[in-house]
Chains A and B, each alone.
Chain A
Amino acid sequence: MINEFPTGYNRHEIVKKQRPVNLQLNTISFPPSAISSILHRVTGVAMFFALIFVIWAWAVSVSSPQGFADVQQLMGGVIGKVVAIGTVSALTYHVLGGIRHGIMDMGHWEELESGNLSAQIVIGLWIVLTIAIGVVLW
């Protein structure tokens, strides 16, 4: 067949016409695998900025006994605790999601059902660990 397309259309016009566009985010329900993907990105970006605080605190605390005492006092306050719990929680999610990615690299959990189940397990595990981290660090 020389021309598969109806006359009067070109290929690009047909592709355009067949694509429904729905970008109203509040009407889309995200599957667990999508939530897992977004969380991996959010926690990664959040940690990048949290490192400003982490590396500063580390640099000050190893530099002198006075610096160590200052950081210790800061970590005992509300702001220090919130930043610490948030950062460790983000790291925990990112590592769990990373391990899931590694397992998927090896060819497992790549189907719709197993991929969503592993995402749910990772998110569930993260919530449990975050509560544990919160209890320990507060």
Chain B
Amino acid sequence: MVTNQASIKRDGVQDWVSLRATAVIIALFSFYMTWFFISTPQITYEVWRELFAGLGMKVFTLAALISVMLHVRIGLWQVLTDYVKPAGLRASLQYVLNLIAFAYVAVGLFVLWGV
């Protein structure tokens, strides 16, 4: 058990908790953005840029993107293990998809950096 917890290998309980913990952050970010689009009468470039210029929103956006990366790591793994049986193909797909998920975070970080 100790070696289990200390290793980077995941287990079912960890996946279960991570999926829900990240889902809450992504949902809150989605609700906030929905509220922004509904409540802002005229979205101009200045308003749009201003939204992501604040430190709080930078942290919130990055947290949402990292949550997406962790969420799809588990979710896409669940889908792939059910539908893609050859281990080599599945591993390759997971590798590429996780790389795309990482790219989302990296793009987000550099965009937020420049705003």
Contact = CB atoms under 8 A, between A and B. Distances in A.
Interface of A: 41, 44-45, 48, 51-52, 55, 58-59, 61-63, 65, 68-69, 91, 95, 98, 102, 105
A61 B48 contact: yes
Contacts of B114: 63
A95 to B, nearest CB: 6
B62 interface: no
Contacts of A102: 20
Q: Which of A45, A48, A52 has the most CB of B within 10 A?
A: A48
B83 to A, nearest CB: 9
- Majority SS at the chain A contact face: helix
Interface residues of B, number: 22
Interface of B: 20, 23, 27, 30, 45, 48-49, 52, 68, 72, 75-76, 79, 97, 100-101, 104, 107-108, 111, 114-115
21 contacts: A41-B79, A44-B72, A44-B75, A44-B76, A48-B72, A48-B76, A48-B100, A48-B101, A51-B68, A55-B107, A58-B111, A59-B111, A62-B48, A62-B52, A62-B111, A62-B115, A63-B114, A65-B45, A68-B45, A98-B23, A98-B27
Contacts, number: 41
A7 to B, nearest CB: 36
A68 B44 CA distance: 8
A51 B79 contact: no
Contacts of B30: 91, 95
Contact of A63 (B20, B75, B104, B111): B111
Given A95-B27, A102-B20, A55 B45 contact: no
